[in-house]
Amino acid sequence: MTKIAVLDDWQHVSRTSADWSPLMARANVQFFDAPFTGEEDATRQLADFDIVLVTRERTPFPMSLVSRLPNLKMFGLTGSRAALIDIAGMIERGITVCYTGGGPSASSTAELALGLMISAARRIPAGDVAVREGRFQQGTEAGILLDGKTLGVIGLGRIGGRMASYCRALGMRILAWSQNLTDEAAASAGATRVSKDVLLAEADVVTLHLVLSPRTRGILGSADLARMKRGAILVNTARAPLVDEAALVVAVESRHIVAALDVFYQEPLPASHPFTRAPNVVLTPHLGYGVIEVFREYYQQCVENALAFLDGKPIRVLQSGSQ
């Protein structure tokens, strides 16, 4: 019987997000709800599987791993783009790579960015801890008002545009920058296009919404973070490597800025990481797109893709150069 691995179910949501029974009737389906300890562990546990269904941006699949999975015939990912997966290499090896729709992931990610911004501005996580520990307001700090402040959006696409609209409703002034942004596109989103340097110098909150690419990797380095206002908030729900990690650690440890982060260079984030000890950092475990409505579309289409592959008529297939 065909063996199917469903990976990265860290929140135990896959089983209830789709009807797996038609697939279970035809294949041996195994769910993995914990991260692998590394590539060797992944190789050992996945070597016998014919089909692997993954959740985007969790388990890396470089060619060094793929090449050691001799039975792998179909690879299914949620969404259609994944920086941690060598999609082109799989296609070259003759592996069928299928994708799913993204559901309302632009809205869910923008909503989390909004939540992170407000949490950082009003020191909500520290307040929650204080109440639970019986201190109430003792040992907490007063936050800042967002009405009248300036938001800097780096990447004014689907997600960045939603974030801009949410923050306009809060009474914030919106600045925007990216390499290809035009005055007209910025104005249509209610923003003013400025240079990156001006945005960083004037914004009280900077929020990142860029696709990670060779051009955007490290788009914010040490000099950029130093240009931000003291006490400004940096929100990142996009990709961790957009920001130089070492520079960001220095910026938060020196209390120059506040960071609100949903994405990290290593996921899960090690408990010993400096971010976990910094009181001016708000952390969430890569929840950005992950809401029930998105997972339902992801996993139902994963089931459909696997069934179609078993029928010899694969659907939602990525072609070379399309990813």
Kindly give the pairing relationship between strand 281-283 and strand 258-261. parallel
- CA pair distance 143, 123, nearest whole angstrom: 6
Q: Please, what is the end-to-end C-alpha distance for the chain in angstroms? A: 31
Among residues 209, 286, 297, 304, the one annotated as catalytic is 286
Single-letter code of the amino acid located at 51: I
Is 267 a catalytic site residue?
yes
- Name residue, tokens 């120059």: 256
Beta strands 2-6; 27-31: pairing state: parallel
Which SS3 state, helix, strand or coil, does residue 169 take? Answer: helix
User: Catalytic pick from 26, 267, 273, 316?
Assistant: 267
Q: Is 273 a catalytic residue?
A: no
For 71, half-sphere exposure in the C-beta direction (CA atoms, 13 angstrom radius) is 15
Residue 209 appears among annotated catalytic residues: no
3 state DSSP class of 176: strand
Q: Return the DSSP state at 317.
A: B
Q: What is the rounded CA–CA span in Å between residue 172 and residue 167?
A: 6
Catalytic residue among 56, 58, 193, 239: 239
Q: How far apart are CA 76 and CA 99, in angstroms?
A: 6
Which CA distances in Å does 193 have to 110, 113, 151, 183?
Answer: 20, 20, 12, 6
Which are the catalytic amino acids?
239, 267, 286
